[in-house]
Amino acid sequence: MARTRLSVSARRIVINTSKLAAILIIAAGVLGLAYGGFGYTKATHQADVGPLHMSLNEKQYVNIPVWAGICAIVVGGLLLVRSRPG
């Protein structure tokens, strides 16, 4: 397989992008461990009968497993270490 040569500025962009992705993945893992999940409101039913308007909103909660948070931190850390120059 032929390797392509990147200019110095192109390498910096690639490295900076991978570092940014690593930091975002680590932050997502930390937030997942800290909060354990997130909630949102979902509008499920709406009815309009003449001038009467009715709607039903359900509150949903999504749990984030501890192993997913830990895996995100590890993957982000590996990506961060791999993107170091040298």
The distance of Cα 33 from the centroid of its chain, to the nearest Å, equals 13
Q: Give the predicted TM-score (pTM) of the model.
A: 0.65
How does DSSP assign 15-56, residue by residue? HHHHHHHHHHHHHHHHHHHHH-EEEEEEEEEEEEETTEEEEE
| Count of CA atoms in the C-beta half-sphere (13 A) of 6 | 8
Give CA–CA dist 73/33, Å, rounded.
10
Mean of pLDDT over the chain: 84
The string of pLDDT tens digits covering residues 37-74 is: 989 998 887 888 888 888 888 999 999 999 999 999 99
pLDDT at 57: 87
Residue 1, pLDDT above cutoff 60: no
Nearest CA to 56 among 38, 39, 43? 43
pLDDT at 82: 85
